[in-house]
């Protein structure tokens, strides 16, 4: 019997270093040992997910596939890789994460429907999304430099907002003084 009202969970660690076979840290990112995904701006990230699903068609789920969870995993990983390739790393690490998850769920469900697995994807939860350990320190430095740059730009804009009116006022004052001096000289010349 297949329980059709139960929400099942499956952890997907194949695109993360937690899913690797070797317990020792490697100096490089080896795709045969640990998974990763490339973003649209050519950054490397590792993603760890938890998928929740329900069985919509118990006959297809139990009889048409020997390993329906493997098909589910494959569909989610393919959708993740494709969607991640369309977005920038900054977007997916911050405000674009929700849109990213929605797009992955849609693509994975379309693939599951086409293959007739009998699975309805309920949700995907990204439990970890970060750069690989081998490049994490460099990534953090780039992020810190980007934040410093944003801070400097903000400070420069603030200084401009303060200095431009002061300079404008000084220019206007100098212009008025020059016009007054010119009028005085003109009056002396006429006199």
pLDDT at 5 over 70: yes
Name the average pLDDT for the chain: 86
- How confident is the model over 76-95, as a mean pLDDT? 89
pLDDT at 13 over 90: no
pLDDT at 164 over 60: yes
Q: pTM for the full model?
A: 0.69
**Non-local CB neighbours of 52 within 8 Å, separated by 6+ positions:** 7, 8, 9, 121, 122, 123, 124, 125
Report pLDDT digits (tens) over 49-81. Answer: 999 999 988 888 888 878 888 999 999 999 999
pLDDT band for position 174 (cuts 50, 70, 90): very high
- How confident is the model over 82-111, as a mean pLDDT? 90
Beta bridge partners of 44: 38
Greatest distance between any 2 Cα atoms in the chain: 115
Contact 119, 55 (CB under 8 A): yes
């Amino acid at each position: 019997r297949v329980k059709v009202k139960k929400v099942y969970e499956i952890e997907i660690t194949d695109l993360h270093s937690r899913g690797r076979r070797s317990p020792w840290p490697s100096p490089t990112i080896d795709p045969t040992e640990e998974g990763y995904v490339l973003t649209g701006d050519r950054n490397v990230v590792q993603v760890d997910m938890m998928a929740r699903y329900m069985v919509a068609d118990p006959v297809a789920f139990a009889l048409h596939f020997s390993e329906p969870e493997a098909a589910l995993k494959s569909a989610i990983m393919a959708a993740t890789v494709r969607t991640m390739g369309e977005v920038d790393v900054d977007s997916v690490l911050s405000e674009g994460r929700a849109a990213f998850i929605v797009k992955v769920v849609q693509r994975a469900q379309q693939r599951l429907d086409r293959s007739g697995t009998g699975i309805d994807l309920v949700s995907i939860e990204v439990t970890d999304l970060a750069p690989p350990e081998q490049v994490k320190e460099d990534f953090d430095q780039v992020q810190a430099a980007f934040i410093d740059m944003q801070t400097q730009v903000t400070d420069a804009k603030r200084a401009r907002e303060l200095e431009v009116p002061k300079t404008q006022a000084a220019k206007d004052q100098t212009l008025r003084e020059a016009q007054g001096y010119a009028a005085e000289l003109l009056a002396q010349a006429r006199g």
